[in-house]
Amino acid sequence: MKSTKVIESTAIKTREEKALDEAFMLRAYELAQQAEKINEIPVGAVVVANGKIIGEGFNQSITLNDPSAHAEMLAIKQAGQALQNYRMLDCTLYVTLEPCPMCAGLLIHSRIKRLVFGASDLKTGAAGSAFDLVEHEKHNHKIEVEQGVLAEQCSSLLSAFFKRRRLEIKEKKKALKAQQNTNTR
Ligand SMILES: [Zn+2]
């Protein structure tokens, strides 16, 4: 049922619409790269109204000591200030990774019109992968969802990050062990 819906929406999308979606996703990707630079999980998001970016964000939970500082959260907060409104009625949120349950809730509260995401998050994604909170039938507000825009690019940024982090942890453990060995000698 869901897959046919996705196919329909891609089929009616014009070439210009597709190019626009990719351009905004590319900006979200650049923001994700900024998160990576400060060792945060590389996720970036932008909010677009009338073809213009009005809010940007990237993951900063560790930096800000704030578990809610996800890319979507920061982008929507900024958009709210730009609009001077707590509703984002005609806006689209572009995010490099499928939103988590917290951000899915935020999208409903913000009354955002459309969600476009890059990579799917099979573990915690709340737009259909692990939970289906964005398009849940119990919500009065319906959000149009589109997935897979620049998906490969967005997901390789994430997997490279996790790979690097695993290596760093391994190296640290190794160094610690070596130190312990010299201490006991
Ligand atoms: Zn989130």
- Residue 57 Cα to ligand 1 midpoint, Å, equals 11
Rounded to the nearest integer, the mean pLDDT of the chain is: 92
pLDDT, tens digit (0-9, with 9 covering 90-100), for 19-50: 999 999 999 999 999 999 999 999 999 999 99
Residues with a catalytic annotation lie at: 72
Q: Tell me the CA–centroid distance for residue 180 and ligand 1, in Å.
A: 39
Per-residue pLDDT, 1: 44
Other CB atoms closer than 10 Å to residue 160's CB: what's the count?
12
Q: What single-letter DSSP state applies at residue 60?
A: -
* Mean pLDDT within 132-143: 86
Check residue 137 and give its pLDDT.
82
**What pTM did the predictor assign?**
0.88
Convert the pLDDT of each residue in 95-122 to its tens digit: 999 999 999 999 999 999 999 999 999 9
Q: Are 76 and 106 in contact (CB under 8 A)?
A: yes
Residue 168 confidence (pLDDT) above 60? yes
Q: Please give the distance, rounded to the nearest whole angstrom, from the Cα atom of residue 42 to the centre of ligand 1.
A: 12
For residue 6, pLDDT beyond 80: no
pLDDT computed for residue 136 by the predictor: 83
Q: Which strands, in side-by-side order, build the sheet including 44-49?
A: 52-58, 44-49, 91-97, 114-119, 144-147
| Residue 12: per-residue pLDDT | 72
DSSP string, 105-117: HHHHHHT-SEEEE
> What pLDDT does residue 2 have?
46
Give the mean model confidence (pLDDT) for residues 146-157.
97
Quote the pLDDT of residue 141: 83
Q: Which region holds residue 13: left if phi is over 0, alpha if psi is between -120 and 50, else beta?
A: beta
Write down the pLDDT at residue 11.
58
Answer with the residue of higher pLDDT: 7 or 41: 41
